[in-house]
Amino acid sequence: MSMPDIQAILFDFDDTLINYSSSEEYGLREAFQKFGIPLRSEYLDIYREENKKLWKMIETGDISTAELRIQRFEKLLDRLGFETGVTASRLSESYLEFFAQAGDLEEGAREILQWIHEHKELKKAIITNGFTDTQHKRIGVTQLGDFFDEIFISDEMGAKKPDPLIFEKALGILEIDSPEKVLIVGDNLVSDIMGGKRYGLLTCWYNPTEKDPEEYRQYIDFQISHLSELSEVLNQK
Protein backbone atom coordinates (compact mmCIF):
# COMPACT_ATOMS: atom_id res chain seq x y z
CA MET A 1 0.00 0.00 0.00
CA SER A 2 1.28 3.46 -0.86
CA MET A 3 1.06 6.30 1.63
CA PRO A 4 -1.49 8.94 0.59
CA ASP A 5 -0.89 12.58 1.43
CA ILE A 6 -1.61 12.92 5.13
CA GLN A 7 -1.99 15.97 7.33
CA ALA A 8 -1.24 14.54 10.76
CA ILE A 9 0.29 11.65 12.64
CA LEU A 10 -0.89 10.39 16.02
CA PHE A 11 1.49 8.44 18.25
CA ASP A 12 0.50 6.15 21.06
CA PHE A 13 2.81 6.67 24.03
CA ASP A 14 3.23 3.54 26.16
CA ASP A 15 5.18 0.75 24.44
CA THR A 16 5.32 2.86 21.27
CA LEU A 17 7.51 5.79 22.31
CA ILE A 18 8.34 4.80 25.89
CA ASN A 19 9.08 1.37 27.34
CA TYR A 20 6.10 0.72 29.59
CA SER A 21 7.48 -2.50 31.10
CA SER A 22 10.65 -0.76 32.25
CA SER A 23 8.66 2.07 33.84
CA GLU A 24 6.33 -0.43 35.47
CA GLU A 25 9.14 -2.46 37.02
CA TYR A 26 10.92 0.65 38.32
CA GLY A 27 7.74 2.05 39.83
CA LEU A 28 6.82 -1.19 41.56
CA ARG A 29 10.34 -1.87 42.85
CA GLU A 30 10.72 1.61 44.34
CA ALA A 31 7.23 1.60 45.85
CA PHE A 32 7.79 -1.79 47.46
CA GLN A 33 11.15 -0.66 48.80
CA LYS A 34 9.56 2.45 50.31
CA PHE A 35 7.28 0.24 52.40
CA GLY A 36 9.91 -2.37 53.18
CA ILE A 37 8.45 -5.09 50.95
CA PRO A 38 10.92 -7.20 48.95
CA LEU A 39 10.02 -7.29 45.25
CA ARG A 40 10.25 -10.80 43.89
CA SER A 41 9.84 -11.57 40.20
CA GLU A 42 6.60 -13.43 40.88
CA TYR A 43 5.11 -10.32 42.53
CA LEU A 44 5.86 -8.33 39.40
CA ASP A 45 4.28 -11.07 37.28
CA ILE A 46 1.13 -11.01 39.42
CA TYR A 47 0.89 -7.23 39.16
CA ARG A 48 1.31 -7.31 35.38
CA GLU A 49 -1.29 -10.04 35.03
CA GLU A 50 -3.88 -8.12 37.05
CA ASN A 51 -2.99 -4.77 35.46
CA LYS A 52 -3.36 -6.21 31.96
CA LYS A 53 -6.80 -7.61 32.77
CA LEU A 54 -7.95 -4.27 34.13
CA TRP A 55 -6.63 -2.28 31.15
CA LYS A 56 -8.64 -4.58 28.87
CA MET A 57 -11.67 -3.64 30.95
CA ILE A 58 -10.77 0.01 30.39
CA GLU A 59 -10.82 -0.61 26.62
CA THR A 60 -14.31 -2.13 26.86
CA GLY A 61 -15.55 0.63 29.17
CA ASP A 62 -16.27 -1.71 32.09
CA ILE A 63 -14.24 0.22 34.67
CA SER A 64 -12.90 3.75 35.09
CA THR A 65 -9.25 4.73 35.36
CA ALA A 66 -9.89 5.77 38.97
CA GLU A 67 -11.08 2.23 39.72
CA LEU A 68 -8.10 0.73 37.92
CA ARG A 69 -5.65 2.76 40.01
CA ILE A 70 -6.79 1.05 43.20
CA GLN A 71 -8.09 -2.32 42.03
CA ARG A 72 -4.80 -3.49 40.53
CA PHE A 73 -3.12 -3.06 43.91
CA GLU A 74 -6.04 -4.54 45.84
CA LYS A 75 -5.77 -7.65 43.67
CA LEU A 76 -1.98 -7.74 44.02
CA LEU A 77 -2.10 -7.47 47.83
CA ASP A 78 -4.83 -10.13 48.00
CA ARG A 79 -2.63 -12.53 46.06
CA LEU A 80 0.64 -11.92 47.91
CA GLY A 81 -0.50 -14.13 50.77
CA PHE A 82 1.04 -12.13 53.62
CA GLU A 83 0.35 -8.93 55.54
CA THR A 84 2.25 -5.96 54.10
CA GLY A 85 1.02 -3.25 56.46
CA VAL A 86 0.20 -0.94 53.55
CA THR A 87 -3.12 -0.14 51.88
CA ALA A 88 -3.76 -0.46 48.16
CA SER A 89 -4.38 3.29 48.03
CA ARG A 90 -1.01 4.19 49.56
CA LEU A 91 0.84 1.65 47.41
CA SER A 92 -0.88 2.98 44.29
CA GLU A 93 0.03 6.57 45.13
CA SER A 94 3.66 5.66 45.73
CA TYR A 95 3.84 3.50 42.61
CA LEU A 96 2.57 6.29 40.36
CA GLU A 97 5.06 8.73 41.88
CA PHE A 98 8.00 6.49 40.95
CA PHE A 99 6.43 5.21 37.70
CA ALA A 100 6.29 8.79 36.41
CA GLN A 101 10.04 9.22 36.97
CA ALA A 102 11.09 6.43 34.59
CA GLY A 103 11.77 7.47 31.01
CA ASP A 104 13.35 4.64 29.02
CA LEU A 105 12.43 5.29 25.39
CA GLU A 106 11.71 2.68 22.77
CA GLU A 107 14.74 2.30 20.52
CA GLY A 108 14.73 4.93 17.79
CA ALA A 109 11.90 7.01 19.26
CA ARG A 110 13.71 10.33 19.54
CA GLU A 111 15.45 9.84 16.20
CA ILE A 112 12.25 9.19 14.23
CA LEU A 113 10.50 12.16 15.83
CA GLN A 114 13.45 14.36 14.91
CA TRP A 115 13.36 13.03 11.34
CA ILE A 116 9.64 13.74 11.00
CA HIS A 117 10.17 17.22 12.42
CA GLU A 118 12.87 17.94 9.85
CA HIS A 119 11.39 16.25 6.77
CA LYS A 120 7.59 16.26 7.04
CA GLU A 121 5.16 19.14 7.39
CA LEU A 122 2.68 17.26 9.52
CA LYS A 123 0.70 18.01 12.64
CA LYS A 124 1.91 15.65 15.35
CA ALA A 125 0.20 14.52 18.54
CA ILE A 126 0.43 11.92 21.27
CA ILE A 127 -2.83 10.08 21.98
CA THR A 128 -2.68 7.96 25.11
CA ASN A 129 -4.92 6.18 27.57
CA GLY A 130 -3.80 7.09 31.05
CA PHE A 131 -3.94 9.35 34.05
CA THR A 132 -3.58 13.06 33.29
CA ASP A 133 -1.04 13.96 35.97
CA THR A 134 1.09 10.85 35.45
CA GLN A 135 1.22 11.02 31.67
CA HIS A 136 2.14 14.71 31.60
CA LYS A 137 4.98 14.02 34.05
CA ARG A 138 6.23 11.07 32.01
CA ILE A 139 6.17 13.00 28.75
CA GLY A 140 8.13 15.73 30.53
CA VAL A 141 10.71 13.23 31.77
CA THR A 142 11.28 11.92 28.23
CA GLN A 143 11.64 15.48 26.86
CA LEU A 144 9.58 14.50 23.82
CA GLY A 145 6.89 17.12 24.30
CA ASP A 146 8.51 19.70 22.03
CA PHE A 147 8.06 17.41 19.04
CA PHE A 148 4.27 17.53 19.34
CA ASP A 149 1.57 20.08 18.60
CA GLU A 150 -0.91 18.44 20.98
CA ILE A 151 -1.00 15.88 23.78
CA PHE A 152 -4.28 13.96 24.06
CA ILE A 153 -4.73 12.04 27.33
CA SER A 154 -7.87 9.97 27.81
CA ASP A 155 -8.68 11.36 31.26
CA GLU A 156 -8.63 14.90 29.86
CA MET A 157 -10.51 13.97 26.69
CA GLY A 158 -13.37 12.22 28.45
CA ALA A 159 -12.95 9.15 26.27
CA LYS A 160 -10.46 6.33 25.90
CA LYS A 161 -9.10 4.49 22.89
CA PRO A 162 -10.68 2.59 21.10
CA ASP A 163 -13.78 4.77 21.64
CA PRO A 164 -14.25 6.78 18.42
CA LEU A 165 -15.06 9.85 20.50
CA ILE A 166 -11.41 10.35 21.50
CA PHE A 167 -10.36 10.32 17.84
CA GLU A 168 -13.20 12.65 16.90
CA LYS A 169 -12.19 15.13 19.59
CA ALA A 170 -8.50 14.89 18.68
CA LEU A 171 -9.11 15.60 15.00
CA GLY A 172 -11.39 18.48 15.93
CA ILE A 173 -8.63 20.09 17.99
CA LEU A 174 -6.14 19.47 15.18
CA GLU A 175 -8.67 21.03 12.74
CA ILE A 176 -8.63 18.05 10.39
CA ASP A 177 -11.91 17.10 8.71
CA SER A 178 -10.90 13.81 7.06
CA PRO A 179 -9.83 10.81 9.19
CA GLU A 180 -8.18 9.24 6.15
CA LYS A 181 -5.68 12.11 6.21
CA VAL A 182 -4.37 10.96 9.59
CA LEU A 183 -1.99 8.11 10.44
CA ILE A 184 -1.98 6.51 13.89
CA VAL A 185 1.13 4.64 15.06
CA GLY A 186 0.76 2.29 18.00
CA ASP A 187 1.47 -1.13 19.46
CA ASN A 188 -2.00 -2.04 20.74
CA LEU A 189 -4.08 -3.92 18.20
CA VAL A 190 -7.34 -3.05 19.94
CA SER A 191 -7.05 0.52 21.21
CA ASP A 192 -4.70 1.91 18.54
CA ILE A 193 -5.14 -0.17 15.41
CA MET A 194 -8.71 -1.48 15.48
CA GLY A 195 -9.96 1.68 17.17
CA GLY A 196 -8.15 3.93 14.72
CA LYS A 197 -9.23 1.98 11.64
CA ARG A 198 -12.86 1.84 12.68
CA TYR A 199 -12.82 5.62 12.96
CA GLY A 200 -11.34 5.86 9.47
CA LEU A 201 -7.69 6.58 10.25
CA LEU A 202 -4.75 5.05 8.45
CA THR A 203 -2.98 2.67 10.81
CA CYS A 204 0.63 1.65 11.39
CA TRP A 205 1.15 -1.21 13.81
CA TYR A 206 4.38 -1.02 15.79
CA ASN A 207 5.24 -4.69 16.31
CA PRO A 208 8.81 -5.02 17.66
CA THR A 209 8.31 -8.65 18.73
CA GLU A 210 6.82 -9.60 15.34
CA LYS A 211 3.65 -11.10 16.77
CA ASP A 212 0.90 -12.56 14.57
CA PRO A 213 -1.97 -10.03 14.40
CA GLU A 214 -4.47 -12.88 13.91
CA GLU A 215 -8.03 -11.53 13.70
CA TYR A 216 -6.84 -7.90 13.69
CA ARG A 217 -4.98 -8.19 10.39
CA GLN A 218 -7.79 -6.43 8.52
CA TYR A 219 -7.23 -3.25 10.53
CA ILE A 220 -3.53 -2.86 9.70
CA ASP A 221 -2.47 -0.62 6.79
CA PHE A 222 1.25 -0.60 7.59
CA GLN A 223 3.46 -2.57 9.96
CA ILE A 224 6.90 -1.82 11.38
CA SER A 225 9.17 -3.73 13.77
CA HIS A 226 11.47 -0.77 14.50
CA LEU A 227 10.52 2.90 14.73
CA SER A 228 13.19 3.82 12.17
CA GLU A 229 11.09 2.01 9.55
CA LEU A 230 8.41 4.68 9.89
CA SER A 231 10.42 6.97 7.60
CA GLU A 232 10.08 4.39 4.81
CA VAL A 233 6.34 4.13 5.44
CA LEU A 234 5.91 7.91 5.26
CA ASN A 235 7.93 8.08 2.03
CA GLN A 236 5.98 5.35 0.22
CA LYS A 237 4.36 6.62 -2.95
Closest CA to 60 of 233, 183, 191: 191
Distance CA 191, CA 90 (A): 29
Q: Is 192 a catalytic residue?
A: no
Q: How open is the CA angle 39-187-162, to the nearest 5 degrees? A: 105
Distance CA 149, CA 86 (A): 41
Distance CA 30, CA 95 (A): 7
Letter string b/e over residues 159-194, b meaning 16 or more CB atoms within 10 A of that residue's CB: bbbbbeebbebbbeebebeebebbbbbbbbbbbbbb
The residue from 5, 12, 155, 187 that is catalytic is 12
Q: Is 78 a catalytic residue?
A: no
* Residues known to be catalytic: 12, 14
